[in-house]
Structure 1
Amino acid sequence: MQEPKQLQQLQEMVDRSRRIVFFGGAGVSTESGIPDFRSVDGLYNQRYKYPPEVMLSHSFYVAHTEEFFDFYRTKMLYLDAQPNAAHKKLAELETAGKLTAVVTQNIDGLHQKAGSKNVLELHGSVHRNFCQRCHKMYDAEFMLHSTGIPTCTCGGKVKPDVVLYEESLDQHTLTKALDAIEHADMLIIGGTSLAVYPAASLVNYYRGDRLVLINKSTTPMDQNANLAIQGSIGEVLGAIQVR
C-alpha cells in the first residue's frame, strides 16, 4: 500500500493543476481483467507456436492470416471487461475540467466506456474494424463472432484498426498526443514500464514540474519523476478527490 505522504503529495499536485494529461499502458487494463499480452505465460506456450509479438506483427497477419485471427479473437477481445477505478477517476477529472487528454497504448476502449471523451489511442482500437477493399466499418462484436478470416459483404478482408508490430503509429493521433503532453501542467504516467517505443518517448515532451509515475514496478523514468509511486493504479487514482 502507498504511503499516506505520497498520496497527499499526489492530491496536492492534482489540486494545483488545470491541464492534466494521463499517459497509460497495459497495467491500467490488467486491473479490469485484461492480461498483458506481451507476457508469454503458460497459456500462450500451450496453445500457440509463436510469441505474441510475432503473431501480432504485420508480416504474420499477411502470411498467416487465419492463424492471426484465431489468436486475435481469443487473446485480444475482452468485450465484457469493465472500467476500473482508474478509468472512472480519469473520466471524473475530465468532466471537472482538470484533465485535458488521456493518451493510451491500450486498444480496449475502456476509457471511453468509463466516460472519457478526449482519448488518444496510440495503438488503435478493437472497436474499429475496416474492410481492406471497400472500407466498410465493423464493430468488435462482428469480429468476435466471426470464424476463420473475417470477410466483408463485398468479399474483402476485415482488418482490426490496431497498430500491429512493424506498423507505424497514426501520425494524426501522435501529433495530438505530443501537443497535449507539451501543454500539460501535470503528466501522470500509469500502468506502463515505458519500454515500448516510440510511445514511451512521448513523455520527453513534458516540460512541467509535476511528473508523476504510478506503476507496480520501477521504470527507467522513476529518477526523473517529481513523484514515483509503486502500487495499484486503480487504488492510487481511486483515492484522489476531485475538487
Structure 2
Amino acid sequence: MVSLLLSQSSRESSFDESDASMGSRLTPQKNQTTSPKLDLRTERLYVIKELDTNDEKLIQINKMLNRSRKITVLTGAGISCNAGIPDFRSSSGLYEMVKKQFPEISMRSGQEMFDISLFRDELKISMFATFMEKLYSSVKLAQPTKTHRFIAHLKNRNKLLRCYTQNIDGLEENLGLEMSTNEQDPGVIGTSFNARWKNYDVVQLHGDLKTLACTRCFHVFPWNRYWCRSFRRGELPTCPQCEEKNFKRCQEGKRQIDNTGCLRPNIVLYGENHPSSDSIAQGLNLDISRGRSDFFIILGTSLKVDGIRKVVRQIAKQVHERGGIVLLINKTSIGDSSWHGLIDYQILTDCDSWVAHLQEQLPDFFKTQETIDRQKMLKRESSDLRKKKAAEQLAKNHIKTPPATPSRVKSEQEETSKNSIQNVKKRLLNVNDEIPSKKSRTNQAPIESPSTYANP
C-alpha cells in the first residue's frame, strides 16, 4: 500500500507538489496507475541466494520494477569487474595485488591504499602512483558492461532519475550518459544549479580517474604519455602550472615558491574534504524532495563507506514513502542488522547475471523508447484505420432509396390511373376515327354491282 505521508523535505517543496499529492488521495484510480500495486516492503532484509525463474519473490520484484516510473541507482566497483577493472576488497582486488607487489608496506586494510595519509610516506606514494597508472591503463582498455548498458537503457526509457556512483572509471560516459563535472568548469558557470543538476545522469561521488589535479593549485589536466611513464616509475609529476608561476616570479625578481604542487588522479581520497560535497548534498536533497523515485537499486557495492551509507538511508526513506522498495545486487553479503527496514531485498549474484535474468523475464522492459514509440504509433494508426473502415461500412449500410410517404404513393397512383384513362380515351378516339358513323354511311353513293360495269 502506497504511503500517503510526505517527508519533511517534500512538505517544504512547492505548493503545486502538495496539491498534486492531495489530488492523488482524492482520486484513487489515478493513484493506482501511478504507483505500484504490490506491497513488497520488508521489516527485515530478505536474502535471495539464486536467480530462480520460479521464485515468487523474484517474479513480484520484477513486476514492480517493470511498473516503476523513476528509478534511482547507486553503483560500486562490482559493476566494472567484468570490464577488467579490479575492485578493492575481493581476493583478486587491488588490495591483494598491493600486498604481493609491495610486501614491505604494512597495510591493515584496503582503505589505506586510498587514504590521504599515504602522502606522508615516500614508499606509499610510490605504491600509490604505480597502481594509479595500472588502474588508468585498465580503464582506457575497458568497455562498458551489461550493467552499464542497463543504466543507459533506463535513461533511454526516461526511467532513470539519477545514478550515484562510487566508481572513478567513468565508463558510463562511453554510452552517452552525462557525467557530473567540477563546479568550477567554465562550461557550467552562469547557469543555475537546478539546471546543471537536472542534466546530470551520473553523479561521481569519488571523482574521476580520467583527469589529474595539482595538490597545491588544484588545476586540472588530462593525462599524457609523459606523465603516464612518470606514474609507472612510481613518481608523481610536478605541476606545470606551479612551475610556470615560479618561472614568472623569478623573471619579476620575486622569491620563488618552494612548495611546488604534484599531479595526482583527480579522485577523492579517504580523509580529505570532497571539493564538490556541498553541490552533491544540494543535488541529493533536490532529488529526494522533488525526484519522486519509486525504486532504488544498489549495484556492486558492500556499503562500507560511511558517506555512502548515509546516502542510502536518505534515498531509501524517500523511496519507501513513495511505496517503492530498495534492492541490493552484490555477490557478497552485507550485515543484516544495520539495514533492516532500509534495504528490502538482497540478491547474491553478479550484477551482469541479474541484468541477463531481467532480460529473460522482462523482454518488453528492454525495448528501446524508439521501438515503444513506433509500436504506439502503429497501434494508433491501426485503430484509426479500423474506425475509418467501420464508419465507411456504417455509411454504406445507410445509403438506400428513402421509402415513399403515403401521400406520395396516393398521388402517384392517382396520376397513373389518370394517365391510363387518358390513354384509353385516346385509343377509343383513334378507333372512332377509323370506323365511319351510320349517318355518314347513308350519305355515301350506293355501291354499284359488278353487272353495271359489265353492261355499259
- Provide, for residues 128-155 of structure 1, a one-character-per-residue CA deviation record: whole Å limited to 9, x for no partner: 2223445442224555343421233233
Residue 126 of structure 1 contacts residue 161 of structure 1 at CA under 8 Å; is this kept in 2? yes
In structure 2, how many angstroms separate the alpha carbons of the residues matched to 1:134 and 1:102?
A: 30
Aligned partner of 1:218 in structure 2 is 333
Aligned partner of 1:228 in structure 2 is 346
Of stretches 190-199 and 52-61 in structure 1, the one that deviates more from structure 2 is: 52-61
1:16 is aligned to 2:67:
yes
Residue 133 of structure 1 contacts residue 157 of structure 1 at CA under 8 Å; is this kept in 2? yes
Equivalent residue pairs, number: 243
Any residues of structure 2 matched to 1:39-188 within 5 Å, and which? Answer: 39=90, 42-48=96-102, 49-51=105-107, 52-64=110-122, 65-75=125-135, 77-78=137-138, 79-117=140-178, 118-141=201-224, 143-147=227-231, 148-154=235-241, 155=243, 156-169=261-274, 170-171=276-277, 172-180=279-287, 183=291, 184-188=293-297
| 1:50 to 1:75, Cα distance in 2 relative to 1, 3 A | farther
| 1:223 to 1:132, Cα distance in 2 relative to 1, 3 A | closer
1:191 is aligned to 2:300:
yes
Cα deviation for residue 84 of structure 1 reads 0.4
In structure 1, how many angstroms separate the alpha carbons of the residues matched to 2:120 and 2:284?
A: 29
| 1:37 to 1:16, Cα distance in 2 relative to 1, 3 A | same
In structure 2, how many angstroms separate the alpha carbons of the residues matched to 1:151 and 1:40?
A: 34
Letter in structure 2 aligned against 1:121: Q
**Unaligned ranges ≥5, structure 1:** none
In structure 1, how many angstroms separate the alpha carbons of the residues matched to 2:301 and 2:288?
A: 16
- Provide, for residues 99-156 of structure 1, a one-character-per-residue CA deviation record: whole Å limited to 9, x for no partner: 1111011111112223322111111110122234454422245553434212332334
Residue 25 of structure 1 contacts residue 191 of structure 1 at CA under 8 Å; is this kept in 2? yes
Aligned partner of 1:35 in structure 2 is 86
Letter in structure 2 aligned against 1:103: Y
Structure having greater relative contact order (Cα 8 Å, sep ≥ 6): 1
Residue 126 of structure 1 contacts residue 140 of structure 1 at CA under 8 Å; is this kept in 2? no
In structure 2, how many angstroms separate the alpha carbons of the residues matched to 1:31 and 1:74?
A: 17
Letter in structure 1 aligned against 2:166: Q
Residue 37 of structure 1 contacts residue 75 of structure 1 at CA under 8 Å; is this kept in 2? no
Cα deviation for residue 88 of structure 1 reads 0.5
Cα deviation for residue 37 of structure 1 reads 1.9
Percent of residue pairs identical = 29
TM-score (ref. length: structure 1): 0.86
- Residue 173 of structure 1 aligns to a residue in which SS? helix
Aligned partner of 2:440 in structure 1 is none
**Unaligned ranges ≥5, structure 2:** 1-49, 179-200, 244-260, 360-364, 368-456
| 1:159 to 1:14, Cα distance in 2 relative to 1, 3 A | same
Aligned partner of 1:201 in structure 2 is 310
Cα deviation for residue 223 of structure 1 reads 4.5
Coordinate RMSD, CA, aligned: 2.5
- Residue 73 of structure 2 aligns to a residue in which SS? strand
Q: Which has the higher strand share?
A: 1
Residue 17 of structure 1 contacts residue 186 of structure 1 at CA under 8 Å; is this kept in 2? yes
Letter in structure 1 aligned against 2:271: E
In structure 1, how many angstroms separate the alpha carbons of the residues matched to 2:328 and 2:64?
A: 13
Letter in structure 2 aligned against 1:242: F
TM-score (ref. length: structure 2): 0.49
Letter in structure 1 aligned against 2:280: T
Of stretches 147-156 and 218-227 in structure 1, the one that deviates more from structure 2 is: 218-227
Aligned partner of 1:237 in structure 2 is 355
Cα deviation for residue 39 of structure 1 reads 4.0
Q: Which has the higher helix share?
A: 2
Letter in structure 1 aligned against 2:210: H
Cα deviation for residue 226 of structure 1 reads 3.5
In structure 1, how many angstroms separate the alpha carbons of the residues matched to 2:344 and 2:89?
A: 28
Aligned partner of 2:393 in structure 1 is none
In structure 2, how many angstroms separate the alpha carbons of the residues matched to 1:164 and 1:114?
A: 27
Residue 214 of structure 1 contacts residue 230 of structure 1 at CA under 8 Å; is this kept in 2? yes
